[in-house]
């Protein structure tokens, strides 16, 4: 498997995002598989940022920590990231005074790194471009270095700026000036040439937040309530942007408490609605989650995780809020926690979240992570009919004979009949206080016990219904892993890389994290002798829940909690040390 | 109550009775909540609104304990949050009248943010503020509307802070409908409820509510001596916000009730939100598969 690794580094606000976006557009145009993610500090201007792109002719999901090619927009960021540029790599920059990067130049010689430099600002100006369009010059330089036909990047640029003729013209001139400035002995064509481009169906670049937004639209969500918080804020922007066509109600609420309450009220009334936030915002929503538990009212909340506690690292990634999702809110009640891993499954899992929330009349918490929220891959068109809508509402027939006592009837499965305000003359009380079968208040010991047990019986019903975790990789593995969320991405890539080296790796992935399917886990343990945990937090939260569930211990734990996602190298190192080969 | 209204009510007595519960009521004898619920049921019957047409949303508190004491679809939420819960419900199905109830603790301590933004957003919701000037259900602690100097549970030396002028506060938010009633003036309160039911937008209706157990400072007769009807205010124009605010400054001597302010030009949230101006259906009936290919 060939993997081309590019990092674009620069200060926030200098346009590195647009350099990255132009490049990934062009790679997508070529038919290659793209993964990208960006690192940036929690501020609008300044600070160092990095846009990482990995490209391959096979489907890859995760990133390498290192780069073959680095495009530097400014000196500060270059100093910060230079060490990630590999030996024999290429450094492209457009800074005027080579002197300001003297130290870097010396290091570059030591690592046999080719430095390619023109005065990008002057080149942009000479081509009729602005200062900011020096970025397009850099894109042109990079494209030539990679040895790819200029036509591809030109097409990508035209699409990007569709309809803005003047902007296209200048950008095309800038990209060409950059392209032409690189002389042929400086080409590093090897990497891309080796990739065999299969012309496949058109793919679309998309991040996890947009996938969630689209999945929600696809499954009939009609209202979205949210208070902005990284890394979930763009769900709000995406849905708002599309609302002119979807006619959804998109409301920026005054706080997360409101967002959750409005979503709950809207779901109570029978539409599909949700709220998204991050850990800190979810803290504020927890009382509403508890209310949903008591009312047996469907509720869906998406939590884009970032490292805490408190404000923590607002723009970085983590899997630190699993315990929060599983144990949040006062009282005991059934819930489902599911976790997306990439923009592909996010589209489908959000739809399952609504089906489960409605069928079981429970809160469902959907965990995402910064690296999924904002990281993009290029996907084939989604199967829009893959998930049917399941509302769990009574049929017209059933409604005719409905009785008030049906609403919270003490059923075997724990799930009782649900109908909506105004659907029938037969009303019920949806009561946040403990209640009888019709919802009217009770504090009688026997009645309380019965209702409590009825609600909790859903846990078993849910366990029987939840899809099983998925196994990736080889039988008779030298090392096995269990994990959830974005860990899947690095695992799938690692399994392939290790196989080329003759090391067999497999991985058990949980999309439906809670309640844990212990049976599948026990099975996996019995078939694999060297099972490790992979998780992005300090405590090994899922690991602890899993061990408690099956009373067995992981052979080891690969944990990371510095705000960076797992890179392929993290896994390779760990496997080198721990595989039983 | 005029003869005409009485007749109409007599005609709709069946609808009225449907809202009546047979369950034992848990409010104290003399509690203002009786009067409020009574007026509400009358107003519903008079306006021809039947059980199926309405959702009652309750906060937590003594007022909230009415959640299963009125027969109809009810939703009993959390303390301080009822306005947002009701707003979500109303946006999902505007064919149903959504009426919400909360105390002064809920409204002006636990959740004033919700009130502020509901007024601003002009959600199609009626909010009834049960102002009994204390935290009833938690046994009589002071609220933000307890008068200065009054001794309360947990305030043995008397409340030393000034109360919030709740009416003036809401009026400062450019509301579309603000009314005030008194729990002991049921006929008049009924008429206020009827106007609130006809209002298209967020209707803030504050009811000065007697609390014989914890509010001995302003008992029934104290209010009775001071309550005035807005129709009796000279040259009063209920579309003039400054007149309204001025009139609401007095919470000691002449306490005016009725529809204090109304801005009929303000459209409710569902008709203000640009992308739903021409919507013919309600969100509840729009749940189905939608194609997303154009957004990729
Ligand atoms: C989050 C939360 N905090 C505190 C309480 C306890 N509590 C119940 S009712 C109430 C205050 C009631 O006062 P008010 O809202 O004025 O209503 P009233 O009982 O006077 O009608 C409080 C503090 C609660 N239920 N939930």
What tens digit of pLDDT does each residue of B27-49 get? Answer: 999 999 999 999 999 999 999 99
Q: Quick one: tokens of B281?
A: 């259906």
Q: Does A453 touch chain B (CB under 8 A)?
A: no
Q: Which chain A residues are closer than 8 Å to B113 by Cβ?
A: 254-255, 258
Q: Which chain B residues are closer than 8 Å to A222 by Cβ?
A: 92, 283, 286-287
**Residue B114: pLDDT over 60:** yes
Q: Distance (Å, rounded) from C-alpha A208 to C-alpha A206?
A: 7
CATH of the domain at B143: 3.40.50.970
Q: Does A110 touch chain B (CB under 8 A)?
A: no
Q: Which run of H or of E encompasses B79?
A: none
In chain B, which ranges are continuous DSSP H helix? 3-11, 13-19, 32-46, 82-92, 104-105, 112-121, 166-171, 186-198, 220-226, 241-247, 269-272
Domain range summary for chain A, segments of one domain joined by +: 4-200, 206-379, 396-465, 470-578
**Residue B252: pLDDT over 70:** yes
Backbone angles phi, psi at A181, to 5 degrees: -75, -20
Q: What angle do CA A41, A50, A491 make, to 5 degrees?
A: 100
* pLDDT of the residue at B135: 97
Q: Distance (Å, rounded) from C-alpha A553 to C-alpha A533?
A: 10
Q: How many CB atoms lie within 10 A of CB A418?
A: 23
Distance in Å, alpha carbon of A226 to nearest chain B alpha carbon: 12
Q: Which chain B residues are closer than 8 Å to A427 by Cβ?
A: 51-52, 71-74
Number of Cα atoms under 13 Å in the Cβ half of residue B178:
27
Q: Output the DSSP codes for B143-202.
A: -TTSPTT--BTTBTT---SPPP-HHHHHHTT--SEEEEEETT-HHHHHHHHHHHHH-SS-
State the maximum Cα–Cα separation within chain A, in Å, rounded to a whole number: 86
Distance in Å, CA B142 to ligand 1 centroid = 11
Q: Distance (Å, rounded) from C-alpha A110 to C-alpha A282?
A: 49
Could you tell me the fold of the domain covering A4-200?
Pyruvate-ferredoxin Oxidoreductase; domain 3 (3.40.920)
Looking at domain A470-578, its CATH class is alpha beta
Inter-CA distances, B107 with A255, A357, B37, B127, Å = 16, 30, 19, 10
Is A421's CB within 8 Å of B67's CB?
Answer: no
Q: Distance (Å, rounded) from C-alpha A328 to C-alpha A21?
A: 38
Q: Token pair 């040895």 is at which residue?
A: A147
Q: Is the dihedral of CA A71, A313, A260, A256 positive or negative?
A: negative
Q: Distance (Å, rounded) from C-alpha A232 to C-alpha A208?
A: 9
Mutate to test the interface with B, among A219, A262, A346 (most CBs of B within 10 A): A262
- Please tell me if the CB atom of residue B121 comes closer than 6 angstroms to any atom of ligand 1: no
Inter-CA distances, B26 with B29, B63, B141, Å = 9, 10, 19
Q: Which chain A residues are closer than 8 Å to B75 by Cβ?
A: 265, 268, 295, 430
Distance in Å, CA B62 to ligand 1 centroid = 8
Q: Quick one: tokens of B197?
A: 């039911």
Radius of gyration of chain A from Cα atoms? 26
Is A268's CB within 8 Å of B88's CB?
Answer: yes
The predicted model gives B50-70 an average pLDDT of 96
Residue A377: strand, helix, or coil = strand
Distance in Å, alpha carbon of B123 to nearest chain A alpha carbon: 11
Distance in Å, CA B253 to ligand 1 centroid = 29
Q: Distance (Å, rounded) from C-alpha A168 to C-alpha A14?
A: 20
Is B68's CB within 8 Å of A267's CB?
Answer: no
Is A261's CB within 8 Å of B81's CB?
Answer: yes
Q: Does A187 touch chain B (CB under 8 A)?
A: no
- Please tell me if the CB atom of residue B257 comes closer than 6 angstroms to any atom of ligand 1: no
**Residue B279: pLDDT over 70:** yes
Q: Does A255 touch chain B (CB under 8 A)?
A: yes
Q: Quick one: tokens of B68?
A: 């299963």
- Please tell me if the CB atom of residue B132 comes closer than 6 angstroms to any atom of ligand 1: yes
- Is there a cis peptide before residue A82, judged by omega within 30 degrees of 0? no
Listed in sequence order, the residues at least 6 apart from B131 whose beta carbon sits closer than 8 Å to its beta carbon are B103, B104, B145, B166, B206, B207, B208, B209
Say how far residue A64 (Cα) sits from the centre of its chain.
Answer: 17
Q: How many CB atoms lie within 10 A of CB A112?
A: 10
Q: Name the nearest CA neighbour of B179 among B192, B198, B164, B165.
A: B192
Q: How many CB atoms lie within 10 A of CB A524?
A: 19
* pLDDT of the residue at A96: 81
DSSP B109: I
Distance in Å, CA A66 to ligand 1 centroid = 56
Q: Name the nearest CA neighbour of A117 among A73, A84, A87.
A: A73
Q: Which chain A residues are closer than 8 Å to B292 by Cβ?
A: 214, 217-218, 382, 384
User: Which residues share a beta bridge with A435?
Assistant: A441
Q: Which residues of B75-114 are buried (b: 16+ CB within 10 A; e: fewer)?
A: bbbbbbbbbbbbbbbbbbbbebbbbbbbbbbbbbbbbbbb
Q: Does A262 touch chain B (CB under 8 A)?
A: yes
- Please tell me if the CB atom of residue B189 comes closer than 6 angstroms to any atom of ligand 1: no
Q: Are A62 and A343 in contact (CB under 8 A)?
A: no
Q: Token pair 């590093």 is at which residue?
A: A188
Distance in Å, CA B83 to ligand 1 centroid = 15
Is B296's CB within 8 Å of A214's CB?
Answer: yes
* pLDDT of the residue at A317: 98
Closest chain B residue by Cα to residue A222: B283
Q: Token pair 């049917």 is at which residue?
A: A388
Residue B127: strand, helix, or coil = strand
pTM metric for this prediction: 0.97
Radius of gyration of chain B from Cα atoms? 19
Listed in sequence order, the residues at least 6 apart from A149 whose beta carbon sits closer than 8 Å to its beta carbon are none
The bridge status of strand B255-262 relative to strand B177-182 is: antiparallel
- Is there a cis peptide before residue A309, judged by omega within 30 degrees of 0? yes
Q: Does A384 touch chain B (CB under 8 A)?
A: yes
Range of the domain at B75: 3-295
Compare CB distances from B74 to A381, A382, A429 and report the shortest one's residue: A429
Q: Quick one: tokens of A571?
A: 């896994």
Compare CB distances from B88 to A261, A422, A435 and report the shortest one's residue: A261
Backbone angles phi, psi at B256, to 5 degrees: -80, 140
Listed in sequence order, the residues at least 6 apart from A363 whose beta carbon sits closer than 8 Å to its beta carbon are A289, A292, A293, A298, A299, A300, A301, A333, A335, A336, A357
- Which stretches in chain A have pLDDT values below 70? 97-100, 186, 188-191, 193, 199
Q: Output the DSSP codes for A418-455.
A: ---TTS-S---EEESS-B-TTS-B---HHHHHHHHHHH
Q: What is the ipTM of this complex?
A: 0.98
The chain-wide mean pLDDT, for chain B, equals 96
Q: Are B270 and B276 in contact (CB under 8 A)?
A: yes
- Is there a cis peptide before residue A231, judged by omega within 30 degrees of 0? yes
Give the lowest-confidence range in A183-192, A310-319, B192-201, B272-281.
A183-192
Backbone angles phi, psi at A14, to 5 degrees: -95, 0
**Residue B274: pLDDT over 80:** yes
Number of Cα atoms under 13 Å in the Cβ half of residue B283:
31
Is CATH 1.10.3720.10 correct for A206-379? no
Nearest CA to ligand 1 atom 6: B138
Distance in Å, CA B14 to ligand 1 centroid = 34
Q: Distance (Å, rounded) from C-alpha B273 to C-alpha B284?
A: 17
Distance in Å, alpha carbon of B83 to nearest chain A alpha carbon: 9
Q: Distance (Å, rounded) from C-alpha A95 to C-alpha A15?
A: 15
Residues 404-433 of A with CB under 8 A from B: 420-422, 424-425, 427-433
- Please tell me if the CB atom of residue B141 comes closer than 6 angstroms to any atom of ligand 1: no
- Please tell me if the CB atom of residue B137 comes closer than 6 angstroms to any atom of ligand 1: yes
Number of Cα atoms under 13 Å in the Cβ half of residue B163:
23
Nearest CA to ligand 1 atom 13: B135
The reply to whether A206-379 shares the fold of A4-200 is no
Closest chain B residue by Cα to residue A354: B287
Inter-CA distances, B246 with B129, B131, B258, B279, Å = 21, 20, 15, 40
* pLDDT of the residue at A41: 85
Is A265's CB within 8 Å of B84's CB?
Answer: yes
Inter-CA distances, A185 with A109, A145, A192, Å = 17, 9, 16
Nearest CA to ligand 1 atom 4: B79
* pLDDT of the residue at A461: 98
Distance in Å, CA B134 to ligand 1 centroid = 10
* pLDDT of the residue at A11: 87
Compare CB distances from B113 to A255, A270, A424 and report the shortest one's residue: A255
């Amino acid at each position: 498997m060939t993997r081309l690794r590019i990092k674009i580094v620069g200060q926030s606000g200098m346009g590195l995002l647009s350099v990255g976006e132009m490049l990934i557009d062009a790679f997508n145009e070529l038919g290659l598989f793209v993964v990208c993610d960006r690192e940036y500090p929690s501020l609008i201007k300044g600070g160092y940022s990095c846009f990482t792109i990995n490209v391959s002719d096979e489907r890859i999901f995760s990133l390498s920590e290192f780069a073959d090619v680095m495009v530097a927009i400014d000196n500060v960021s270059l100093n910060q990231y230079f060490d990630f540029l590999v030996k024999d790599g290429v450094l492209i920059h457009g800074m005027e005074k080579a002197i300001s990067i003297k130290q870097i130049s010396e290091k570059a010689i030591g690592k046999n790194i080719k430095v390619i430099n023109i005065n990008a600002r002057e080149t942009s100006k000479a081509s009729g471009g602005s200062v900011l369009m020096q970025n397009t010059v850099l894109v042109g330089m990079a494209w030539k270095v990679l040895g790819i036909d200029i036509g591809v990047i030109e097409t990508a640029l035209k699409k990007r700026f569709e309809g803005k003729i003047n902007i296209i013209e200048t950008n095309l001139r800038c990209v060409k000036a950059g392209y032409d400035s690189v002389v042929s002995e400086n080409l590093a064509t090897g990497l891309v040439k080796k990739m065999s481009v299969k012309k496949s169906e058109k793919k679309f670049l998309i991040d996890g937040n947009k996938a969630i937004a689209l999945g929600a639209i696809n499954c009939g969500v009609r209202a979205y309530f949210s208070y902005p918080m990284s890394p979930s804020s763009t769900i709000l922007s995406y849905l708002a942007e599309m609302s002119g066509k979807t006619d959804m109600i998109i409301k920026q609420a005054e706080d997360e408490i409101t967002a959750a309450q409005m979503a709950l009220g809207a779901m109570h009334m029978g539409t599909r609605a949700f709220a998204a936030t991050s850990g800190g915002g979810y803290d504020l929503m927890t009382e509403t989650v508890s209310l949903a538990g008591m009312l047996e009212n469907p509720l869906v909340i998406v939590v884009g995780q970032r490292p805490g506690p408190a404000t923590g690292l607002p723009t970085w990634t983590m899997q630190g809020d699993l315990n929060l999702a599983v144990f949040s809110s006062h009282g005991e009640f059934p819930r489902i926690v599911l976790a997306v891993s990439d923009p592909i499954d996010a589209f489908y899992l959000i739809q399952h979240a609504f089906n489960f929330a409605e069928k079981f009349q429970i809160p469902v918490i959907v965990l995402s992570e910064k690296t999924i929220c904002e990281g993009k891959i290029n996907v084939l068109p989604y199967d829009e009919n893959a998930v049917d809508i399941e509302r769990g509402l009574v049929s017209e027939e059933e409604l005719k004979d409905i009785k008030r006592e049906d609403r919270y009837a003490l059923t075997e499965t724990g799930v009782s009949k649900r109908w909506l305000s105004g659907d029938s003359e037969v009303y019920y009380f949806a009561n946040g206080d403990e209640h009888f079968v019709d919802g009217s208040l009770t504090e009688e010991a026997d009645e309380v016990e019965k209702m409590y047990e009825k609600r909790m019986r859903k846990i078993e019903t849910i366990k029987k219904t939840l899809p099983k975790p998925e196994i990736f990789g080889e039988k008779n593995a030298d090392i096995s892993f269990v994990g959830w969320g974005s860990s899947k991405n690095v695992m799938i890539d690692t399994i392939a890389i290790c196989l080329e080296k003759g090391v067999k790796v497999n991985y058990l992935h949980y999309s439906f994290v809670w309640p844990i399917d212990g049976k599948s886990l026990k099975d996996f343990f019995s078939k694999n002798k060297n099972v490790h945990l992979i998780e992005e937090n300090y405590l090994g939260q899922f690991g602890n829940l899993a061990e408690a569930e099956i009373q067995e211990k992981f052979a080891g734990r690969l944990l990371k909690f510095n705000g960076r996602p797992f890179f392929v190298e993290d896994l390779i190192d760990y496997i080198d040390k721990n595989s039983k080969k | 109550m005029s003869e005409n209204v009485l007749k109409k009510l007599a005609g709709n007595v069946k609808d009225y009775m449907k809202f009546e519960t047979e369950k034992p009521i848990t409010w104290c004898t003399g509690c203002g909540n009786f009067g409020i619920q009574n007026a509400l049921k009358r107003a519903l019957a008079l306006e021809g609104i039947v059980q199926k047409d309405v959702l009652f949303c309750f906060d937590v508190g003594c007022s909230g304990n009415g959640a299963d004491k009125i027969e109809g679809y009810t939703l009993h939420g959390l303390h301080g949050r009822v306005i947002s819960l009701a707003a979500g419900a109303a946006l999902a199905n505007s064919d149903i009248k959504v009426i919400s109830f909360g105390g002064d603790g809920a409204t002006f301590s636990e959740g004033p943010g919700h009130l502020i933004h509901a007024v601003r957003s002009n959600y199609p919701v009626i909010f009834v503020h049960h102002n009994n000037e204390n935290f009833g259900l938690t046994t009589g602690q002071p609220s933000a509307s307890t008068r200065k100097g009054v001794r309360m549970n947990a305030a043995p030396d008397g409340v030393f802070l000034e109360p919030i002028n709740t009416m003036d506060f809401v009026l400062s938010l450019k509301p579309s409908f603000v009314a005030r009633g008194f729990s002991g003036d049921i006929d008049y309160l009924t008429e206020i409820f009827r106007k609130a039911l006809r209002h298209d937008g967020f209707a803030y209706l504050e009811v000065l509510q007697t609390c014989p157990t914890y509010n001995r400072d302003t008992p029934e007769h104290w209010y009775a001596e001071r309550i005035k009807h807005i129709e009796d205010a000279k040259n009063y124009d209920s579309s003039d916000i400054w007149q309204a605010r001025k009139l609401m400054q007095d919470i000691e001597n002449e306490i005016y009730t009725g529809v204090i302010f109304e801005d009929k030009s303000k459209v409710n949230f569902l008709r203000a939100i640009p992308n739903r101006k021409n919507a013919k259906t309600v969100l509840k009936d729009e749940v189905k598969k939608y194609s997303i290919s154009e957004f990729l």
